[in-house]
Amino acid sequence: MTINISAEAYLWFKTLHIVGVVVWFAGLFYLVRLFIYHVEARDQPEPLRQAFEKQYALMERRLANIITTPGLVVTVIGAAGLLLGNPSWLSQTWLHAKLAFVVGLVAYHCYCYRLMGLLSLGKCEWSAKQLRAFNELPTLLLVLVVMLVVFKNQFPTGGATWLLVALVLFMAASIQFYARWRRLKAEREAINAV
């Protein structure tokens, strides 16, 4: 199969784009998980609490600056190359919808930086339960964005789509229930140990 230069460049940009997306999301998912551990460290006795909080703040900063933000930048550079290679995408509805969700993702990314700052100052009021729910938001956006890019203007609205949305919600609820079960178990063990 012969690929002319611009077609090959398009595929390179797509490769870059997909790798960027994977890195960006790995960073976003793990970052908010670290926030949950950071908030749960409040329950530790001193001096453990201080040591944990310091360590989580360091891990969050490194993850955000070395993995998550570069992932975002690589995604956008790849996307710009794809649009240069095929500017006609710009007039298509699926891309407008996708861009709207991407703006939501970038806002989520920026809000993570705000939470990271508050956590490092010990001023974050969020509970672990709220953060777990917050951590589900990018999953939903990921599913929608990937569906848009795959189905484009033939976006399906039938049973399969609703099944997928139900699956994401089921996963979110399971995570909350599992955390609650773990907390109750730890409380029971603490009572039994007395």
By CB under 6 A, the residues from 109 to 148 that bind ligand HEM are: 142, 145-146
**140 with 171: CB under 8 angstroms?**
no
Instruction: Say how far apart CA 36 and CA 80 lie, in whole Å.
Output: 34
Q: Tokens 């508050």: give the residue.
A: 118
Q: How many CB atoms lie within 10 A of CB 35?
A: 24
Instruction: Say how far apart CA 74 and CA 16 lie, in whole Å.
Output: 7
Is 98 annotated to bind ligand? yes
Stretch that binds ligand HEM, among 17-25, 37-45, 51-59, 184-192 (CB under 6 A): 17-25
Residue choice 105, 115, 116, 119 for contact with ligand HEM (CB under 6 A): 105
Helix-strand-coil split of the chain, %, nearest 5:
90, 0, 10
Contact characters 50-89, ligand HEM, x per CB under 6 A: -------------------------xx--x--xx-----x
17 is an interface residue for ligand HEM by CB under 6 A: yes
Interacting residues toward ligand HEM by CB under 6 A: 14, 17-18, 21, 75-76, 79, 82-83, 89, 98-99, 102, 105, 142, 145-146, 149-150
